[in-house]
Structure 1
Amino acid sequence: MDGTLIDSEPIWIAQQFVLAEKHGGTWSQEQGLALVGADMQDTAVAMQTAGVDMEAAVLVATLERAVIDSLRQSVPWRPGARELLTELRLEGIACAIATTSSNEMASLVAAAAPEGAITVVVGSEDVTRTKPSPEPYLRAAELLGVRASDCVAIEDSANGLASAIASGATSIAVPNDAVLPERGDFVVWPTLAGRTVADLRALVR
């Protein structure tokens, strides 16, 4: 979701700066980028190490609330994301969000998507292990009523790709802010702009 469907990573990093400044820590763009695709607990530990004097649960909740408030004002879709979701909906192909962000945040994005396009949401609290574990994708496939091996997963982070590949899904990397592996069991699309359901079907075949 973050960085793949929506361009929310700049929002996360901006709010990390706000939190660090407010609570006596120091933060950098590089530290923010290093956490793209990371579990929220990893983000809490990194910010605590940088001097943010808050309990992990409170830190995570505060950060997520600030990002959710921003998304309620406007959802910044990535190029081609809404168009591809619209075509998938018209073709009757079910879609899910599997994310390390909260179910609340993912549900907000699902509601902002083309009507009926995203029918399943799996957030961080819906699994026992988040990415890079395959559990989020396996759970999403289960809720969709399909096998993960019959799914296509689109990711923008190393942790996300590791999760998708381990689940058995056909995996696509769409680079954004995160550093991605140079090679692996995935294909790279520079952007979703101009991509169609036919492109997805070709990968599965």
Structure 2
Amino acid sequence: MTAPTSRLDAVLFDMDGTLIDTEPVWMASEARLAADHGIAWTAADAEALVGVDLWDGARTFIERGVPMSADAIVDRLVGEVLSGLGDDLPMRPGALELLRQLREHEVPVALVTMSTRRIVDRVDAALTARLGASPFDVTVAGDECERGKPHPDPYLLGARLLGVEPDGSVAIEDSITGAASALAAGMTTIGVPHAVDVSQVPGIVHWPTLEGRSPADVAAAIRKARA
């Protein structure tokens, strides 16, 4: 099958909270880290790290008094998240079906996440087993980007690896930080809320959920964003 519109050159997905419901696992790991060092940690603190580059998040903990290196903090959090991920990934509503439809329509798809390569490969393998083939043409991990979200670099890298231009591509995000990254890269950006309210981000197309959405809906977001 061919793409539903020539305007939809590619779709680039965030992972945590957008495709996979891993935000609770990350938040629990961060809360344990803070508690282990006697640091007060609130829901607002947790929300502030959603979608943020892991090393930037680690520096937040260091500034709050955690006596560990940024690499050690990231290693601890990633290890706990990997331990908390089962083989049956907790998909966000509509995510698996949209990935399947994009593959059927031969729309190039990238995964662009601040999670590390270890987590990306685990998720990709699990999704490949469920779908019969990887839903992603390329994947970008946080430990492969010199500057993470909210900088545009991760999404620009994803577009470059796909061989597409940002202005014909759509990014799908659940965080303020991630949406800022995609917008800065020049992509039409769909915000789907989960752990944080992305409705405050100007310039994005707001969807309450991915459930029931099709490649044609994603393509229509480009026209809506430019209207």
Task: Give the structure-2-normalised TM-score.
Answer: 0.84
Whole-angstrom CA distance in 1 between matches of 2:31 and 2:204: 33
Structure 1 residue 147 corresponds to structure 2 residue 165: yes
Aligned to 1:101: 115
Q: 1:181 to 1:191 in 2, by over 3 A?
A: closer
Q: 1:21 to 1:8 in 2, by over 3 A?
A: same
Aligned to 1:161: 179
- Kept in 2: contact 1:26–1:50 (CA 8 A): no
Q: Deviations over 1:72-122 (max 9, x none)?
A: 444211000001001011111121111111122122222222323112110
Structure 1 residue 18 corresponds to structure 2 residue 32: yes
Query: Shift in Å at residue 181 of structure 1?
Result: 5.2
- Kept in 2: contact 1:80–1:194 (CA 8 A): yes
Give unpaired runs (5+ residues) of structure 1: none
Whole-angstrom CA distance in 2 between matches of 1:134 and 1:119: 20
Query: Shift in Å at residue 146 of structure 1?
Result: 1.2
Query: Shift in Å at residue 21 of structure 1?
Result: 2.9
Query: Shift in Å at residue 23 of structure 1?
Result: 3.9
- Larger mean CA deviation between 56-65 and 176-185 belongs to 176-185
Give unpaired runs (5+ residues) of structure 2: 1-14
Larger relative CO (CA 8 A, sep 6+): 1 or 2? 2
Aligned AA (1:54): M
Query: Shift in Å at residue 138 of structure 1?
Result: 0.9
Whole-angstrom CA distance in 2 between matches of 1:161 and 1:183: 8
Q: Deviations over 1:40-75 (max 9, x none)?
A: 123212223444332221011111111012124442
- Larger mean CA deviation between 66-75 and 122-131 belongs to 66-75
Whole-angstrom CA distance in 2 between matches of 1:36 and 1:183: 14
Query: Is the partner of 1:96 in helix, strand or coil?
Result: strand
Aligned to 1:188: 206
What is the RMSD of the two structures over their aligned residues, measured on CA atoms?
1.7
Whole-angstrom CA distance in 1 between matches of 2:60 and 2:88: 28
**Which structure 2 residues correspond to residues 79-98 of structure 1 after superposition, within 5 A?**
79-98=93-112
Aligned to 1:110: 124
What is the identity percentage for the equivalent residue pairs of Structure 1 and Structure 2?
Answer: 43
Structure 1 residue 202 corresponds to structure 2 residue 216: no
Q: Aligned pairs, how many? A: 205
Aligned AA (2:32): V
Structure 1 residue 3 corresponds to structure 2 residue 17: yes
